[in-house]
Amino acid sequence: MSSSDHALMPSTTPSTHATAPRREPQFIRIAETRREPLHFFLDGEEVAALQGDTLLTAVLMQQRRVRESEFSGAPRAGFCLIGACQDCWMRTEDGKRVRACSTLVTEGMRVLTRRAAAVEAGTANRNGDAR
């Protein structure tokens, strides 16, 4: 767990959207706000994060999920936060799988949280025709 993870508190904002929780963050940053900003793309939309954020932190600062379960389609937001449970796998737009809790977000990174888009990107990556 990085030191930035300690600066986050779970949001108490209740989710009102079962399938589209965007803009209801899971985490609220309460400390370490002076790190350099960066931008990345979350489901095609440019959003902000701070240098040193894990991808999991960066995504959950924006919404309440990092992916949808491949079995049930239910929203998932990671569980262990230390790289052990496999609950935070995400796909980049070019189809690569990344573990959100142990991957630092980088400037211009493009990630997907919607299952259909992630499956399409993964298939394209395996077929060698990724963007």
* Contact positions vs ligand FES (CB under 6 A): 78-81, 83-88, 99, 101
- According to DSSP, the β-strands at 110-112 and 37-42 are parallel
In one-letter notation, the amino acid at residue 96 is K
Nearer to ligand FES (CB atom), residue 20 or residue 85 = 85
Note whether 100 and 80 are within 8 A (CB).
no
Q: Which residues contact 18 (CB under 8 A, 6 or more apart)?
A: none
C-beta of 45: minimal distance to ligand FES in Å? Answer: 23
Minimum CB distance to ligand FES, residue 12 (Å): 21
The residue among 86 and 106 lying less far from ligand FES, judged by its C-beta, is: 86
| Count of CB atoms situated within 10 Å of the CB of 1 | 12
Q: Give the contacts of 129 (CB within 8 A, at least 6 positions apart).
A: none
> Taking the complex as a whole, how short is the minimal distance between the CB of residue 127 and ligand FES, in angstroms?
27
Nearer to ligand FES, 98 or 130 (CB): 98
- Report in angstroms how near the CB of residue 128 gets to ligand FES at its nearest: 28
Structure tokens at 68: 């949808």
Q: Which is nearer to ligand FES, 80 or 131 (CB)?
A: 80
Which phi and psi angles does 92 have, rounded to 5°? Answer: -85, 165
